[in-house]
Amino acid sequence: MNDQLKYYSDRVTKGLMTRREFVGRAAALGVTAAVANSMLATAAKAAGPVKGGTIRMGIQGGESTNSLDPALAASAVPTVNLRNFGDCLVNVAPDGSIENRLAESIEASADAKTWNFKIRKGVEFHNGKSLTPDDVMRTMERHSNEDATSGALGIMQGIESMAVDGDNFQVTLSTPNADLPYLLADYHLQIQPDGGFDDPASGIGTGAYMIEVDEPGVRHLFKKNPNYWDDSIGHADEIEVLALNDTTARTAALQSGQVHIIDRVEPKIAQLLDRAPNVNVKSVSGPGHYVFIMHCNTAPFDNADLRMALKLAINREEMVDKILRGYGTTGNDFPINKAYPLFDDTIPQRTYDAALAAEHYKKSGHDGSPIILQVADGAFPGAVDAAALFQQSAQAAGIPLEIKREPNDGYWSEIWNVQPFCASYWSGRPVQDQMYSTAYLSTADWNDTRFFNDEFDALLNSAKAELDNTKRKEIYSQMANILRDEGGLICPMFNDSVEGVASNVGGWIEDPNLTIMNCMAGIKCWLDA
């Protein structure tokens, strides 16, 4: 029977049989109409991408203050826009490997200090200019020179010099880094003509789509770039990105068919939405995590026992259940999970232990005055509720927590990375080195736990230069243990990205890097006819 059905469904895909006819024949074989229809959908997907149409996306995180300047992109809508009109040298593929884009091939010296990127030929910018290695170097300069205002400045600091040699773009690092391609895959680093020095916000790149309408905080319309160099992406004729910041507005737009893809479906409505007709909810676990961070150099958090008491006093399973509604996994007080390459899954999971927490709390000699935890709704979705759960479970261990609720407005400048104990989130990084270098190295700008540990720093530097993965994994495991036991990070949970996709969207794949397929859903998906 299966062969027979498969034969029929192939015929429908090829246009040799109508859908109605197919359902009728399937019924004759004892298959219900619902099953028959879903078989057809699968067959259509297997038949490959469908060209044409307009993919509409409703995305949270678009403001009227947004610019098309890649250096200033900080929220989801600008990032999606960058992916539509631009290309990086390399991308991080869904499986965590490096995918060459504008770089055709990559070579590293044995000490991982000198890197050679061969730049693809025959690529054109939207203004007709051909891509040259000079454009690449100028782009990197704009994001790393001393006047840079780029959000990528932090990750560009290890670069000692850059040069162009024929078709190649060469980077020399001051300290070895085996993960350099992962750093250059950062979404800010879209290659622009002359590096974007003349007109950073022109929206001209080499990407699969060209910007047509740019209304910041409202909508962005893109048209297919007919000269795009890679046929495997860019199926729709147009992509429309709508800034829908209100959760209900986003959900309603998907349900009423006005958009095909939305991001950030609230976990508490995810299951309900999945039951709605013509809509599927997709979730993918990634490196993003929600945290409570303590400054290791500020009283009372400079006391290792107090930090341990708080780590033991948080109920991680409860948080995953109640805050994430199961769309996530428990954290283990270091910022790495199975989404990262070289993750050591043998490190034991820390669990809630009120008795042991009370013991550490007693040993810390804390005077029993309330410990103030600063939190805002915007710290992460459900942050205030999570803090309340934390307060309850700490109470049971005899640790008095006081929640101080702060406004969302100004939270990232006044509270985070300023106050000694607050809620925050990290969206994660493609590799362990980058995550640790960004936030846990003594000298990191975003060392938001004020973690200064010489042994940890030395291990991190040795891992950077280590090209043997077995040894690197071992080093990372040691670092994870140090951070887990001594750091100021309380990491109760890793959150899944939950997204809503209309059932006529084809080509959806799970990508753990950034939300909505590493922000590339528009250029990679298609609409089934």
Partner 1 sequence: MHPILKLVAQRVALGCLLLFAASVLIFAGTTILPGDVAQQILGQAATPENLANLRAELGLNDPPLTRYFSWLGGVMQGDLGTALTNGRDIAESLGDRLSNTLFLAFWAALISVPLAIFLGLLAVRYKDRWPDKLISGVTLTTISIPEFMIGYILIYWISIRFGWFSSVAIINDSMSLGQKLNAIAIPVMVLTLVVLAHMMRMTRAAILNVMQSAYIETAELKGMPMLKIIRKHAFPNAIAPIVNVVMINLAYLVVGVVVVEVVFAYPGMGQYLVDHVAKRDIPVVQACGLIFAAVYIGLNLVADIVSILANPRLRHPK
* Binding footprint of partner 1 on the chain (CB under 8 A): 58, 63-67, 69, 72, 74, 146-154, 201, 213, 215-219, 242-246, 248-249, 252-253, 255-259, 409-410, 412-414, 416, 445-446
Smallest gap from Cβ 78 to partner 1, in A, equals 10
SS3 content of the chain, % helix, strand, coil (to 5): 35, 20, 45
CA–CA distances in Å: residue 61 to residues 75, 80, 241: 5, 10, 11
Taking the least distance from each CB to partner 1, the nearer of 151 and 300 is: 151
The least distance separating partner 1 from the CB of residue 103, rounded to whole angstroms, comes to: 24
Q: Output the smallest distance, CB 243 to partner 1, in A.
A: 7
218 vs 482, beta carbon nearer partner 1: 218
Q: What Å distances lie between residue 453 and 112, 360, 445, CA to CA?
A: 25, 21, 15
Instruction: Give the side-chain half-sphere CA count within 13 A for 33.
Output: 4
Q: Which residues contact 201 (CB under 8 A, 6 or more apart)?
A: 67, 68, 69
Beta carbon of residue 413, minimum distance to partner 1 (angstroms, whole number): 4
Which residue in 13, 509, 51 sits closest to 261, CA to CA? 509
CB nearer to partner 1: give 9 or 66: 66
- CB of residue 151 vs partner 1: minimum separation in angstroms? 4
- Smallest gap from Cβ 154 to partner 1, in A, equals 5
Q: Which is nearer to partner 1, 412 or 452 (CB)?
A: 412
Residues in a beta bridge with 403: 373
- Give the per-residue SS3 of 369-402: CCEEEEECHHHCCCHHHHHHHHHHHHHHCCCCEE
Quickly list DSSP for 325-336: TTSEEE--SSS-
- What is the residue type of 343? F
Closer of 162 and 444 to partner 1 (Cβ): 444
Residue 78 vs 420, nearer CB to partner 1: 78
Q: Packing angle between helix 432-439 and helix 454-465, nearest 10 degrees?
A: 150
Least gap, CB of 341 to partner 1 (angstroms): 24
* Residue closer to partner 1, measured from CB, 69 or 318: 69
Residue with smaller CB distance to partner 1, 12 or 68: 68
333: left (phi over 0), alpha (psi -120 to 50) or beta: left
The smaller minimum CB distance to partner 1, of residues 262 and 342, is found at 262
| Cα Rg, the chain, nearest whole Å | 25
Our CA dihedral for 88, 93, 98, 101, rounded to 10 degrees, sits at -30
Q: How many angstroms separate the Cα of 281 from the Cα of each of 266, 269, 272, 502?
A: 11, 10, 9, 9
Give the tokens for residue 59: 């995305």
Residues 6+ apart with CB under 8 A from 93: 99
Instruction: Give min distance, CB of 284 to partner 1, in A.
Output: 22
44 or 218: CB nearest partner 1: 218
Query: What is the nearest approach in angstroms of partner 1 to the Cβ of residue 393?
Result: 27
The distance of closest approach from Cβ of residue 202 to partner 1 in the complex, given in angstroms and rounded to an integer, is: 11
